[in-house]
Amino acid sequence: MVEEKPKENLKGVKGLYHYLRQAWKKPDKKTLRERMIAWRKSGVFTKVDKPLRLDRARTLGYKDKKGFVVIRIRLKRGGHKRPRPNKGRRSKRLHTRKNLKMNYKWIAEQRVERKYKNLVVLNSYPIGKDGIHYFYEVICVDPTKPEIKNDKTMKWVCEPTNKKRAMRGLTSAGKKSRGLRSKNPMNKSRPSMRAGGRKGK
C-alpha cells in the first residue's frame, strides 16, 4: 500500500515578483551607486534590452515581445523656481514661487516622446536618484508593429486618439500632476484646469 504524502500548505508561498518588489524597497546601496556612475557616463536617453524593475514594468503593462521598448532617461534635479534678476529693473518683491506644476516623471515621459516620435509612451517608473539627477525607465510601444495591432490588451494604443499621450497629459503621471486622481465633484481641475477657470487643483 502506497502512503499518501501530506499536502503542502501553499497559502503562504510568495512568487518571484513579490520578492523583486521587496528587494526594491531597500536596494543595495553599493550596487545602485555603481550603476548610477555608469548611467551618468552614458547618454541622456539609453535603450535597454530588459527593464531593471521587472515587477514594476509588468504591473504597468510591459510585455517581453516585439513592439515594446524600454528607455532609460537621466533628468536634472532641483526646484523649479523663477530666476531672480541680477541686474536692471527688478520688482519690489523677488519671486520665490515655483513656476512649473509638472512632476519629474511627467517631464521624463514628455522628453522621451519628443525624442522618439514613432513611439507612444505607456508608463514609467523611477530607478534611482543622486544629488544631481533622477533616473527613470519609460515603457514605450510602437503602434505600427503587427504584434501590437493583434494584441487584445494593447491594440488600443494603435488608435489615433492615443497619439502623443505624454504631451497631452494622458499618462498616469500626467493625470496625477493635473489633479485628476480625485473624483470629488468639487474638484476644479475636472474636466480640465482651463474649464475650471484656472482655480487650481
User: What confidence tens digit (pLDDT) does each residue in 96-119 have?
Assistant: 666 577 889 999 999 999 999 999
Task: Check which CATH number belongs to the domain holding 160 and give it.
Answer: 3.40.1120.10
Question: What pLDDT does 12 receive?
Answer: 74
Is there a contact between 135 and 129 (Cβ–Cβ < 8 Å)? yes
Per-residue pLDDT of the chain (201 residues), as tens digits, is 566 766 666 667 889 999 999 999 999 999 999 999 999 999 999 999 999 999 999 999 999 999 999 999 999 988 776 667 777 777 776 666 665 778 899 999 999 999 999 999 999 999 999 999 999 999 999 999 999 999 999 999 999 999 999 999 999 999 998 888 888 888 888 888 888 888 876
- pTM given for the model: 0.82
Question: What pLDDT does 123 receive?
Answer: 95
Confirm whether 12 is domain-assigned.
Answer: no
Is there a contact between 159 and 141 (Cβ–Cβ < 8 Å)? no
CA 158/CA 149 separation, integer angstroms: 7
Render pLDDT for 168-191 as a digit per residue (tens, 0 to 9).
999 999 999 888 888 888 888 888
Confirm whether 183 is domain-assigned.
Answer: yes
Neighbouring-strand partners of residue 133: 76
Domain extent for 125: 48-82+96-201
Confirm whether 14 is domain-assigned.
Answer: no
Number of domains in the chain: 1
CA 71/CA 154 separation, integer angstroms: 19
Is there a contact between 106 and 129 (Cβ–Cβ < 8 Å)? no
**Mean pLDDT of the chain, nearest integer:** 88
Question: What pLDDT does 96 receive?
Answer: 61
Confirm whether 91 is domain-assigned.
Answer: no
Confirm whether 25 is domain-assigned.
Answer: no
**In what order do the strands lie in the sheet containing 120-129?**
45-48, 68-76, 133-141, 120-129
Confirm whether 59 is domain-assigned.
Answer: yes
Is there a contact between 75 and 130 (Cβ–Cβ < 8 Å)? no
Confirm whether 114 is domain-assigned.
Answer: yes
CA 108/CA 135 separation, integer angstroms: 9
Which residue is associated with the grid cell 537621466?
74
Confirm whether 57 is domain-assigned.
Answer: yes
